[in-house]
Structure 1
């Protein structure tokens, strides 16, 4: 084994072998992880910024139908899946440095657009759909960033490294949803434009500055691009685009895709649509609860306080991302398959618990409050088990596949699972929440069987 230290005279490293403890530059690996994680956090912010703004478009003066809003919230998921198919082949072609820097700059376009268009309710529907589509670039970045980072770490540490990167990146979802209600209230933070007026049922109109929720992130995106360009390096991986596609001849590629749809597809789908679903079931969009719009709206159920969805939607992504971070080091010690099994079983139970709350009982305020509590806790449990599975599947893939294929499989599975927001939005609007959640139980049961037979049982063909 060569003991030659990796040379770093230019962008591309030479003689880089993370499995060789004597020459592996651990400091460089962790610096790469933290810089790319910062960029990935901002990518998730850009991807899920529409989910924080879309539930408030009508109160801000737009007049879109429920179906139009679900489609708009689903669009970043559709585009993210498509963009991930592109980004998954970029690490060997562009390298970490160029890919992260360019992606960070591309995030600015959709973020700037949303900041401009929430100020006046004059944008046509197609334009907001275009902005929602461009927001998917943030989701696409995941399939490039994660394989790229895996090149820098030995297999024994990849569960921790990828779990930290993905988990902290996922915190971008909860961050943009958590901070938006606060950022919009600061007039002194209004970078450009004027205030808007928003009205909630039974409450007086309030001045807000929704552009703050978008513009605050743009300087950080530019900073991420500068840091990536000046501080990152790239690992040469010998795999052209044609060679990368040989992963599709491996049955485990398809099985791990099914498992990651169960975990990250669930996480991303719920994160994008959580606010709209809550508003439709227990909030201002349910005509059996609220009649009319704005300050003139009437709450039909005496004693019921309509929840402001923006105060709750960040909780789900926060729980899911936290679970991914906390369980990643554990998967390095125990293997990922057993936790994927736990994830699937947990999803079956938590989805079944949530289903009754998808049909609100509007006979009284007490029944609505009880239903809302069951809905909220059930959803948080779903996020928890999805987050555990997100960590465990990313531990499995580097163990199951050879190094060259592992990066491609990570990118591919992430690309397909990124369609979660799209399919969740379409499923809820066409099938209804109850039927769609029942399909989720069936999918999780299938994945539990796959995990046990192929990966988790004693003597499994591909333990990992």
Structure 2
């Protein structure tokens, strides 16, 4: 077995058993059989370069997946002006469906990494993004298309949401425990930035006004299909890049039955609950923010930019802030402990949602899209935006800190069950890494459900006024964040009794 230091690849003449594999023979150059990130010498001489290269291209592919996942978040706000007769409730459903499908796909996408290899699955998942992008390109040019068909194609955008779980599980195998928080935070932030970028660039690409008005609307009107073609091309680029520059780890092996053992672990469900509050908030608010701005602060008359706050100028800011603070959450968790940072994040989420709720109470309902009402509400927009950005910043920090906690929990349990320096410890740590990757898939899947529930809460078909629906939703969200804060403190930070001396709280989690 030989390793090429420059490429980080191996040609295997033996089985994968040396790296803890299943005994299958890897005959391609892109399989690495011997991977020991916890070995300081191995990491310094070879491991860090290989891991960094795989992280870079993983970020690119995941970034693209997130962009496709949220392509409907901004485009839905343009549909009515293009002749699509959809109600606010229908538009919120269009932005919610990709989040539901994305959450459901996260578990099988996690299993795909050990089953097919991280590089191989990155190629496949990137190529699958051609389905939602090309489907989007066809439908947005046909206003006569039935709404159920739009829902079906919008749901396929969830393929991009599944990329997150496989990417995170893959990178988790590449990095040593001490560097997982920063690496996973950076990987996730690169993906999360795809939300901000699609919301920032889509209005410009399709011919709408954007970049705070510095780019004017095209005289030829809005052409949503242009954005779909751009991202379809990028999907091809991501597929080729993964083929050329990424690697599979033979040590990243596990049977689905073994991976599913994590569903019987109490910590899996505690962390899933907390992740609904952090990532579910990020993706849900990112999807809903353009419509919230449009429905409460803007009307389309007079053309072309209407009255009030043009949603395309500000829709991307929330996702940008949430993405930028995610690595900060991982960095803080590495130094202060994930649970402490997560508790502070839920405090910030509660404060931010109370502020948004208070601001909404100052607005005038605008169910009839009255320019006078939009103009009056405009004065409250800076306050609304400031509080909303606090929500996004807290969700980003919480995303980074919770993902630091997941591998730390499983590693701590493995260390407490074995003696240092023994073969049993090495075996337990490898198994813990596999279990943590499986847990990431489960937790990511459950947490992303929040991205589906939040837009649905804003749609509230039984409430005619969008502002009233949003007020009720934010009141519920505030109470939920307080519960999450209580759970974080009770499970991970409360001083353990003598009988609970093995509590995870004392392990820097």
Question: Is TM-score (shorter-chain normalized) higher than 0.5?
Answer: yes
Q: Is the 8 A contact 1:95 1:235 kept in 2?
A: yes
Q: Greater RCO between the two (CA within 8 Å, min separation 6)? A: 1
Separation in structure 2 between the aligned mates of residue 52 and residue 323 of structure 1, nearest angstrom:
22
Q: Partner residue of 1:104?
A: 126
Separation in structure 2 between the aligned mates of residue 296 and residue 159 of structure 1, nearest angstrom:
48
Q: Partner residue of 1:76?
A: 98
Residues 297/332 of structure 1: CA separation in 2 closer, same or farther (3 Å cut): closer
Q: Deviations over 1:324-350 (max 9, x none)?
A: 123322322222111101101111111
Separation in structure 2 between the aligned mates of residue 295 and residue 283 of structure 1, nearest angstrom:
11
Matched, 1:417 2:447: yes
Q: Deviations over 1:388-443 (max 9, x none)?
A: 00000011111001212110111111111222232112222237222221221121
Separation in structure 2 between the aligned mates of residue 209 and residue 132 of structure 1, nearest angstrom:
17
Among residues 256, 261, 284, which one is paired with 2:271 in the alignment? 256
Matched, 1:396 2:410: no
Separation in structure 2 between the aligned mates of residue 240 and residue 391 of structure 1, nearest angstrom:
28
**1:216 aligns to what SS in structure 2?**
helix
**1:58 aligns to what SS in structure 2?**
helix
**2:221 aligns to what SS in structure 1?**
strand
Matched, 1:213 2:227: yes
Residues 296/338 of structure 1: CA separation in 2 closer, same or farther (3 Å cut): closer
Separation in structure 2 between the aligned mates of residue 263 and residue 58 of structure 1, nearest angstrom:
31
Shift of the alpha carbon at 1:7?
A: 7.0
In the TM superposition, 1:58-207 aligns within 5 A as 58-185=80-207, 207=221
Among residues 343, 347, 364, which one is paired with 1:361 in the alignment? 364
**1:418 aligns to what SS in structure 2?**
helix
Matched, 1:435 2:472: yes
Shift of the alpha carbon at 1:216?
A: 1.6
Q: Is the 8 A contact 1:47 1:135 kept in 2?
A: yes
Q: Is the 8 A contact 2:206 2:227 kept in 1?
A: yes
Among residues 330, 338, 343, which one is paired with 1:328 in the alignment? 330
**2:40 aligns to what SS in structure 1?**
coil
Q: Is the 8 A contact 1:7 1:14 kept in 2?
A: no
Q: Is the 8 A contact 2:308 2:374 kept in 1?
A: no
The total of aligned residue pairs comes to 433
Shift of the alpha carbon at 1:262?
A: 0.5
Q: Partner residue of 1:381?
A: 390
Separation in structure 1 between the aligned mates of residue 56 and residue 219 of structure 2, nearest angstrom:
43
Shift of the alpha carbon at 1:258?
A: 0.9
Separation in structure 2 between the aligned mates of residue 205 and residue 88 of structure 1, nearest angstrom:
45
Shift of the alpha carbon at 1:50?
A: 0.9
Shift of the alpha carbon at 1:367?
A: 5.1
Separation in structure 2 between the aligned mates of residue 111 and residue 298 of structure 1, nearest angstrom:
27
Separation in structure 1 between the aligned mates of residue 253 and residue 84 of structure 2, nearest angstrom:
51
Matched, 1:447 2:480: no
Shift of the alpha carbon at 1:384?
A: 0.6
Matched, 1:243 2:252: no
Shift of the alpha carbon at 1:364?
A: 6.5
Separation in structure 2 between the aligned mates of residue 297 and residue 143 of structure 1, nearest angstrom:
40
TM-score (ref. length: structure 2): 0.80
Q: Deviations over 1:45-89 (max 9, x none)?
A: 110111120111010111112211111111101111111122121
Q: Partner residue of 1:194?
A: none
Q: Is the 8 A contact 1:168 1:325 kept in 2?
A: no
Separation in structure 1 between the aligned mates of residue 152 and residue 273 of structure 2, nearest angstrom:
29
Separation in structure 1 between the aligned mates of residue 63 and residue 375 of structure 2, nearest angstrom:
39
Separation in structure 2 between the aligned mates of residue 232 and residue 263 of structure 1, nearest angstrom:
30
Q: Deviations over 1:293-345 (max 9, x none)?
A: 6658998xxxxx42111111100000000001233223222221111011011
19-28 vs 142-151, which deviates more?
19-28
273-282 vs 358-367, which deviates more?
358-367
In the TM superposition, 1:37-76 aligns within 5 A as 37-76=59-98
Q: C-alpha root-mean-square deviation of aligned residues, in Å?
A: 2.5
Q: Partner residue of 1:191?
A: none
**1:8 aligns to what SS in structure 2?**
strand
Among residues 22, 26, 32, which one is paired with 1:13 in the alignment? 32
**1:185 aligns to what SS in structure 2?**
coil
Separation in structure 1 between the aligned mates of residue 53 and residue 226 of structure 2, nearest angstrom:
30
Separation in structure 2 between the aligned mates of residue 238 and residue 135 of structure 1, nearest angstrom:
28
Q: Deviations over 1:4-63 (max 9, x none)?
A: x99721333212121111223111111110011100000001101111201110101111
Residues 436/95 of structure 1: CA separation in 2 closer, same or farther (3 Å cut): same
Q: Deviations over 1:351-385 (max 9, x none)?
A: 11111223423697775234322222121111110
Q: Is the 8 A contact 2:181 2:333 kept in 1?
A: yes
